[in-house]
Amino acid sequence: MNDLNIRKAGRAGRITFTRPKALNALSHDMALAIHDALDGWRDDAAVELVVIDAEGDRAFCAGGDIAAVYRAGLAGDHATGQRFFADEYRMNAAIADYPKPVVAFMGGFVMGGGVGVGGHASHRIVGDTTQIAMPESGIGLIPDVGGTWLLSRAPGRVGEYLALTGARMGAGDAIHAGFADTYLPETHWPDLIARLEETGDPSLIEGRDAPTAPLRTMDLSPFAQDSVADIIDALEQDGDAQTLKILAGNSPLSMAAGLAMVRAARDDARMQESLAREYRFTYRATRDTDFLEGVRAQIIDKDRKPKWMADASPENVAALLAPLGPHELTLEERA
């Protein structure tokens, strides 16, 4: 596959994103290929760990390549998106549950689908170019790929803040929020990868003191409120015009659902429970939400003027998160 370089190098299984001009966006075929590679190395004694990185200096993976999902949804084909999300989430779960160390070198943009690959690795390395975000509220979706699980584990109200605003995190904030583990300047990455390939030993990973984490000192108390409307009221009382402007541009339904899902995920015992809940929304996304309009405005036409129409009431959020019956996401390991 031209979009990924999958190979064995020394004692490591190696996966490299190789479409830097597209910011290494993750397609359906790429998600399947990553999962296949992990399955192939699971019982391969020659592979002691897996290393995932990317070509180019702009992005590890800036998100899912959802143009095909958009086109299919416009044509009334909702199954294409459902298959994409299901297979992507199964790959995310495979990384989270992998029995061997998985080391992700997350430089540049790491957003949406990129978080689903790197954010669930056992060893998550970030550098000075790292910008991690879950910006789905801006395209009418919700933080998925296990994002609600990660957000739910962030300290304080960081999870709610990141889910609603889609704010970007540098290395320090990513470690503080639980999206990364180790800061290491990117000039050191090639040498470390070479040593991991040679030894298969993740204990060689030694970080440096992380940069400052602005999230540590931000007053995020408004995001403890019960609803998006109450959060907005609290921000208005604080005079936080910058955050209010961001929320005003995002899908009301996506924010309401994302808020509910991050809070629900706090009671999940395993990431797979969060993925299954996310799939209930994304299964219905091309038919019943603001997703197609958000993709049109932000990615296809790029007019940045979405016309949000979906019902953001608690009743509709509950309906979108209701069980799917026979269509519920299954995450059993593949034979």
Return the active site residues.
64, 113, 136, 144
CA count, 13 A, side-chain hemisphere, 187: 1
* CA 283 to chain CA centroid, nearest Å: 17
Backbone angles phi and psi of 192, in degrees to 5? -65, -40
Give me the residues paired with residue 125 across strands. 105, 182
The Cα 103–Cα 51 span in angstroms is 5
Output the CA–CA distances (angstroms, integers) from residue 239 to 28, 235, 243, in the order listed. Answer: 43, 6, 9
* CA 182 to chain CA centroid, nearest Å: 18
Structural tokens at position 233: 């009221």
Give me the residues paired with residue 33 across strands. none
Q: What's the 3-state SS for 167-231? A: CCECHHHHHHHCCCCEECCHHHHHHHHHHHHHHCCHHHCCCECCCCCHHHCCCCHHHHCCCHHHH
300: buried, middle or exposed (CB in 10 Å: 19+, 13-18, 0-12)? middle
The Cα 60–Cα 271 span in angstroms is 22
